[in-house]
Structure 1
Amino acid sequence: MKVTICAIGRLRAGPELDLIKDYLQRFDRTGRNLGLGPAQIMELEDKKGGGPTAEAALLERAIPKGAKICAMDERGKVMTSPEFADMMGNWRDQGTSDLAFIIGGADGLSKQLRAQADTSLSFGKMVWPHMLARVMLCEQLYRAASIQSGSPYHRV
């Protein structure tokens, strides 16, 4: 199951980008034998400043055709890491070939785009900077693959 993270904004070189690359590499290595991955990030920029509606159009074009969509949104469901791993495994087992996580800009995702998502996920009631949300998502992808593989990385 290929994973695409479609995100508004571009990360510059720095510690966040280094962490993302590291976690995605770990996810790809761990998930490969489990049918999870590869993962990629598609960074999109709304150069005209059209807000969530313009960003939604960019995100919609970036989502692979037929992909299951998970919106990263503060109103989404809060899950434990094992629940997230189970969700990923269930989608894979149901034959999902593409999974897209969508992350909006500073004003979040448009209501219309949130409604199109198959599910919505939140990292809690706090609002996180988008660069950290990406890092956290990439770490959770790796953690999900680790849980699915029985690796000791995730401790209860």
Structure 2
Amino acid sequence: MKITIVCVGKLKEAYWKGAIAEYSKRLGRYLKLEIIELPDEKAPETMSPAQELEVKDKEGLRILKSIKDDAFVVALAVEGKMLSSEELAAFMADKGVRGVSHIAFVIGGSLGLSKEVMKRADYALSFSKMTFPHQMMRVVLLEQIYRAERINRNEPYHK
């Protein structure tokens, strides 16, 4: 299985980079991992709804250009379906059984994902009704993918 994480915004802090590197290394024994980091759109602190839409659309175009045609796309969105770790593991295993060899997880910028990205998504996944920084979500997502791989192999870790 190939997993691509498409994310808007750069990691700046060393502790996030360290966590990403650690989970990337751990996942390397289970799957092929690719992280595509896209620049966020520069925007003023206060924006009109039209300006917010424009920012999301510009970021969305970058996201869509980086998603391969063969990818099953999972958008991380507050309005998505919440899954337990075991349910995420079963979801990923089911995709593999059904012939999906490439899953792309998409993490938007601070304003979320554009309508076009949500249309391209095959599934919307929510980790919470709360909003989290995209840097943190990258780490949480990688940890949950790692946990899912361990669960699917009946390896200790997930309890």
1:154 correspondence with 2:154: no
SS in 2 for 1:102: strand
Unpaired runs of at least 5, structure 2: 44-53
Query: Aligned ranges for residues 11-30 of structure 1 at < 5 Å?
Result: 11-29=11-29
How do 1:68-107 and structure 2 match up within 5 A? 68-107=72-111
Aligned counterparts, 1:51-62, within 5 A: 51-62=55-66
CA positional deviation for 1:126: 1.1
CA distance in 2, matches of 1:48, 1:81: 35
| CA distances 1:26-66 after superposition (whole Å, capped 9, x unpaired) | 1221x2xxxxx211210001456551100111001111221
- Alpha carbons of 1:13 and 1:127: their partners in 2 closer, same or farther (altered >3 Å)? closer
Check conservation: 1:4, 1:100, Cα contact below 8 A: yes
Q: CA deviation at 1:13?
A: 4.6
* Partners of 2:6 and 2:37 within 8 A in 1: yes
- 1:34 matched to which residue of 2? none
CA distance in structure 1 between the partners assigned to 2:25 and 2:86 by the alignment: 20
Task: For 2:72 and 2:40, locate their aligned partners in 1 and report how far apart those are by CA, in whole Å.
Answer: 23
Which has the larger displacement, 142-151 or 38-47?
38-47
Q: Which residue of 2 aligns with 1:131?
A: 135
Amino acid in the other structure paired with 2:124:
S
Scaled by the length of structure 2, the TM-score of the pair is 0.89
Which structure has the larger Rg?
2
Cα distance in 1 for partners of 2:91, 2:136 equals 22
1:75-118 Cα deviation digits (max 9, x unpaired): 11110001000111111111112110111111000122112211
Aligned length in residues: 149
- Residues 100-109 or 43-52, more deviating: 43-52
Paired with 1:77 and 1:136, the residues of 2 have a C-alpha distance of 16
The percent of aligned pairs where both chains have the same amino acid is: 38
**3-state SS, counterpart of residue 77 of structure 1:** strand
**Is this contact kept in 1: 2:82–2:126, CA < 8 A?**
yes
What SS is found at the alignment partner of 2:3? strand
